[in-house]
């Protein structure tokens, strides 16, 4: 796991600081801002999966694509909302159940301990479900509760141990990022939170790649991507990076083509040629 890269990739790229500041401003918009940033993070996840060799290349946050971010982010947001509503019941039941048991046996301390333990188990279960099922929704681009649940079980069975270790280290590093944000006259806490969110997305991409390498079934990427995908957001990078970007694009095309069976490769070539002609027509 590349923890250092996860926490710095959003800032290392060209215009990274501006993207983080724009995301910070977007997060301040109630509800809609959260949905939009979820959509942007979905685009980043797919871009990083395309660049699985380096895990760096991703688009900048662009307010001109705000509507498209909303379209991408609405399904992850609804998934998180449904899971939060569903987990309220076991959380409250564990808390009141523990206190009721403590009152019944006349041992308030034991009751408080049981209530706290039950609450923590419910909370950790919610986190495990929310992270994996939200990631699934970001890639498939729709609300698929059953598919997200199946992916969660397969994911945890395949890389659950690695995910737990990654979560512990991520929490430890996030604490220091928060401290740095607080030291910047407290205002820095807001961009620090954005950096932490982007780091979580990067680590989830790394875990998904490891999950696939261990034989896990990959999530089908069906989300409708915003404009300027791959070559189309070439202008997001400096001129001296264009050649490296073209090489990465060619690797991506070869990798995607290899996923098709022999019988489908002719169709893939035809589709690719049609897309090229449409892009040329739109350009002129």
The tokens for 196 are 């932490």
Please tell me whether the overall predicted TM-score, pTM, comes out greater than 0.75 for this model. Answer: no
DSSP E strand stretches across the chain? none
pLDDT at position 256 = 53
Q: Which two tokens stand for residue 176?
A: 């220091």
For each successive 10 residues of the chain (284 residues), what is the average pLDDT?
Answer: 85 81 86 88 86 79 85 89 84 78 76 78 83 88 86 88 89 88 79 88 90 84 61 46 52 55 55 61 52
Nearest to 258 by CA among 268, 272, 248, 249: 268
How does the average pLDDT of the chain come out, rounded?
A: 78
Sign of CA dihedral 265, 268, 270, 273: negative
141: closest CA among 261, 46, 216, 276? 46
- Give residue 280's pLDDT: 57
DSSP class of 260: S
- pLDDT tens readout for residues 67-100: 888 888 898 999 888 888 888 887 788 777 777 8
| Residue 64 DSSP label | G
Of the candidates 225, 178, 185, 220, which has an alpha carbon nearest to the alpha carbon of residue 199?
A: 178
* Among the listed residues 203, 208, 209, the one whose alpha carbon sits nearest the alpha carbon of residue 171: 203
User: 76 Cβ partners below 8 Å, 6+ apart?
Assistant: 38, 39, 42, 134, 137, 138
CA-closest candidate to residue 39, choices 181, 226, 222, 182: 226
How much is the pLDDT for 240? 45
- The CA distance from 101 to 109, in Å, is 11
């Amino acid at each position: 796991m590349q923890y250092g890269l996860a926490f710095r990739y959003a800032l290392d790229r060209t215009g990274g600081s501006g993207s983080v500041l724009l995301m910070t401003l977007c997060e301040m918009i109630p509800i809609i801002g959260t949905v939009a940033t979820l959509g942007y993070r979905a685009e980043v996840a797919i871009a990083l999966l395309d660049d699985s060799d380096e895990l760096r290349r991703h688009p900048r946050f662009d307010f001109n694509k705000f509507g498209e971010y909303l379209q991408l982010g609405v399904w992850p947001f609804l998934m998180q909302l449904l899971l939060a509503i569903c987990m309220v019941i076991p959380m409250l039941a564990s808390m009141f159940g523990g206190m009721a048991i403590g009152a019944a046996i006349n041992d308030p301390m034991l009751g408080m301990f049981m209530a706290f333990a039950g609450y923590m188990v419910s909370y950790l279960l919610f986190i495990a479900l929310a992270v994996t099922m939200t990631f699934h929704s970001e890639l498939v681009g729709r609300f698929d509760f059953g598919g997200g649940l199946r992916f969660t079980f397969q994911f945890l069975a395949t890389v659950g141990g690695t995910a737990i270790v990654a979560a512990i280290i991520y929490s430890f590093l996030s604490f220091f990022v928060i401290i740095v944000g607080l030291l910047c006259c407290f205002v820095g806490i807001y961009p620090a939170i954005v950096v932490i969110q982007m780091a979580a997305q990067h680590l989830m991409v790394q875990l998904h790649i490891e999950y696939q390498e261990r034989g896990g079934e990959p999530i089908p990427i069906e989300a409708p991507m915003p404009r300027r995908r791959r070559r189309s957001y070439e202008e997001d990078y400096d001129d001296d990076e264009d050649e490296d970007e073209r090489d990465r694009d060619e690797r991506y095309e070869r990798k995607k083509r290899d996923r098709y069976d022999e019988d489908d490769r002719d169709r893939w070539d035809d589709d690719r040629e049609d897309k090229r002609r449409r892009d040329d027509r739109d350009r002129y």
